[in-house]
Amino acid sequence: MTLEISHLTGGYSGIPVIKDVNLTIASGEAIGLIGLNGAGKSTTIKHLLGLLRPQAGKITLNGINLAEKPAEFKKLVAYIPETPVIYPELTLKEHLELTILAYQLDPDKAWDKAQELLTMFRLADKLDWLPVHFSKGMQQKVMIVAAFLTDAQLLVIDEPFTGLDPLAVANFIGLIKEAQESGKEILMTTHVLADAQQAIKTYAILNQGTIEFTGSLDEIRDHYGLKASDSFDKLYQLLYQEQKNA
Amino acid sequence: MRELAKKRLQSNLQQSAKYLALVFNDFFVLALIFIFGAVMFWYAQVMKVLPVKAWYYPLVLSALLWLAYLPGKLVTLLQTADRQFLLATDDRLGEYLAPMRRYSLVLPALLLALAGGIMYPFASLKMGLSNLNYFSLVLALFLAKVFEQGAVSRSLTFDHKVKQVTWLIRLVLLALLLASLYSLPNALYLLLALAVIAVLALRAWKNSAFDWQYAIDYEARRKETVYAGFAMFTDVKERQVNIKRRKYLDFLLPPFGKESPNSFLYRRTLLRDPEYLNLLARMTAFAVLLTAMIQDPVWSLLLSALVMYLTVWQLLPLGQKYDQNIIYRVYPIAQKDRGQELSRVLAWALLLQTGLIIIFWLAIMPGQFAWSLLLLVWCGLLAKGYLPYKTQQLAKKSRYKKRKK
């Protein structure tokens, strides 16, 4: 099982935001996509989810081409958006039921797993509530529970830490580690490296729509000439300088 | 702050004018003229036969003028972002609220003038009130509104007493109105004097800390009421939909696993989103009302059939409700049978509506009950003919739109 993004160029209304992006995530691997605002992280994710049509290149997961078999591809993908997207009309229980229906999961097994996840994120007593009235952090937990319920092969996670309390962050990191151990692929965008590095060892630096470098945090330090004492904030300053000089 | 208030009032006026033009369309204005003419004709006939100075006249006049006094809340046009951007302007709020208060008085002034004008023949001819007394009475009501809105603007504080203050003023006013009209006619001057004193008392009102969130919520509720009124005639894009759980309707949902993801979503949206549920309830009530008013089987049948068609036609946008929802688009939800699934859910809603109309028909015209069964045939035609065709067309259009993007 491998995700392969090959020579992907895309964006909005014919204007390329990402250019010739190449990225491979093998089974059991997690990659953090980092870069400044506007670098193309969300655009890459939108292409990966089939929400935008590439201008060039292709995306395959386990050999299934997204452009050719979108329905099959989507069954293998779960997504946690940066801003929670809730169905205002559905209760928490119904959000999970819809996930079970859409991903054609076995209801009994799925509910056993859902109970575990709901207890972990302290949502078990809120099944009959409308999550649209939850706080942002609680809505984000609903997104996490629904995504991990799917048992999807590829997890696409966009800035997940905003609004989560430290307990939820720890639980979430634990789930990512478990997913890796069970052979899933994970792509996560984040600016919160302190939390992300507990679960993710490899990072891809996206700058001006292109992946500049892929490697561990130490390798990134070497590549950009950062000292061991330098904070990673300096990396963002360097990327900004590159943008200005371009 | 004064400039900001003026700018907001201007854009509010433009927005209201846009919607009022849609509300007061040619047909509605024509209907209003007819209804108003009919009511005035009835009023003129009644005036001819009414005895002079009956004991209950002050009660009738007080009630009608008081009802005309009620509409017209304080308009503040505060927005959610003000909590952030205007937080440090508490000491200059007076500048902002002064033009708002003046603007807020326009609607009550118009309503009181209209109600005062209509009731004038009754007050002068049947109750024997002098012109000066009657004018004082209407003016006192207007001044009471000035007082009420001034009091509300000073109550947007952490005490959260706007509702209590408003209703206290309204009830005291009703009591004063009744007391004045049942005592000596000169007591109306007393009412006028009281209103003047109340307006002056506002100046002495001590302000406590302004509660931004409370004030913003108050304005949001006011705007929602206005938008709900406009929404009866046209689509209001600014309207914030307030979804309610409505657990009592859960018995209408099939057991889990018996429906597709699309049907699952459509059915719950129909039952919980007020935009769709209110439409269904309103149109059903309209059909029942027509049946009750006409009480003629052929006309009731034809008009009910028309209402049923208009209901499903207006419910069709339910199919596009989730087109822009990112999770809906990412989830592996089959799109191939989406049109049929929408068609089935709408047919189910139509059957529900038909059932209710037939039940009320049985209560209203039990002798003509057999006619109502023809509505079931019409329901079947819409469900099996019109809906599948229309939803398929819309599904194709939606897929085409997606490809274009």
Give B7: exposed, middle or buried? Use CB within 10 Å, 0-12, 13-18, 19+: exposed
Residues of A with Cβ-Cβ distance to B328 under 8 angstroms: 87
Residues of chain A with CATH 3.40.50.300: 2-76+153-245
- A101: distance to nearest CA of chain B, Å? 6
Alpha-carbon distance B148 to B142, whole Å?
10
In sequence order, what are the residues at sequence separation of 6 or more whose Cβ sits closer than 8 angstroms to the Cβ of residue B352? B252, B280
Nearest CA in chain A to B327: A85
Verdict on whether the full-model pTM lies above 0.90: no
Q: Over the stretch B358-387, which tens digit does the pLDDT of each residue have?
A: 999 888 888 888 888 899 999 999 999 999
Please, which pLDDT band fits residue B403 given cuts at 50, 70 and 90? very low
**Would you list the DSSP string of A69-118?**
-HHHHHHTEEEE-SS----TT--HHHHHHHHHHHTT--HHHHHHHHHHHH
Please, which pLDDT band fits residue B154 given cuts at 50, 70 and 90? confident
Domain boundary among B185, B200, B230: B230
Alpha-carbon distance B219 to B221, whole Å?
5
Please, which pLDDT band fits residue B207 given cuts at 50, 70 and 90? low
Which residue, A43, A133, A44, is CA-closest to B242? A133
Q: Is residue B242 part of a domain?
A: no
Which residue, A77, A74, A53, A44, is CA-closest to A156? A77
> Do B211 and B292 belong together in one domain?
no
Q: Point out the residue among B259, B261, B268 whose CB comes nearest to the CB of A102.
A: B261
Tell whether the model's pLDDT for residue B186 goes beyond 50: yes
Q: Over the stretch B6-33, which tens digit does the pLDDT of each residue have?
A: 999 999 999 999 999 888 888 788 888 8
pLDDT at residue B399, rounded to an integer? 54
> Do B155 and B57 belong together in one domain?
yes
Strands A154-158, A185-189: pairing kind: parallel
> Do B198 and B342 belong together in one domain?
no
Superfamily of domain A2-76+153-245 in CATH is P-loop containing nucleotide triphosphate hydrolases (3.40.50.300)
Q: What domain range includes position B275?
A: 247-404
CB B149 within 8 A of CB B76: no
Counting the structural domains of chain B, the total is 2
Residues of A with Cβ-Cβ distance to B256 under 8 angstroms: 97, 107
> Do B257 and B356 belong together in one domain?
yes
Contact A102 B243 (CB under 8 A): no
Tell whether A56 is within 8 A of chain B (Cβ).
no
Nearest CA in chain A to B275: A89
Give the residue ranges of DSSP H helices in B204-337.
Answer: 212-231, 261-272, 274-294, 297-315, 326-330
Tell whether the model's pLDDT for residue B405 goes beyond 80: no
- B328: distance to nearest CA of chain A, Å? 9
CB B77 within 8 A of CB B101: no
ipTM of predicted complex = 0.85
> Do B116 and B64 belong together in one domain?
yes
Helix and strand element counts for chain A (H, E):
9, 10
Give B312: exposed, middle or buried? Use CB within 10 Å, 0-12, 13-18, 19+: buried
- A140: distance to nearest CA of chain B, Å? 13
Highest mean pLDDT among A13-22, B206-215, B301-310: B301-310
Between residues 72 and 91 of chain A, which touch chain B (CB distance below 8 Å)?
74-75, 77, 79, 81, 85, 87-91
- A36: distance to nearest CA of chain B, Å? 23
Q: In what order do the strands lie in the sheet with A2-12?
A: A15-26, A2-12, A56-61, A64-65
Tell whether the model's pLDDT for residue B187 goes beyond 80: no
CB A25 within 8 A of CB A3: yes
Q: Which amino acid is at B61?
A: L
User: What is the percent of chain A where pLDDT is above 70?
Assistant: 100
Q: Containing H/E element for A6?
A: strand A2-12
Contact B330 A107 (CB under 8 A): no
Contact A51 B331 (CB under 8 A): no
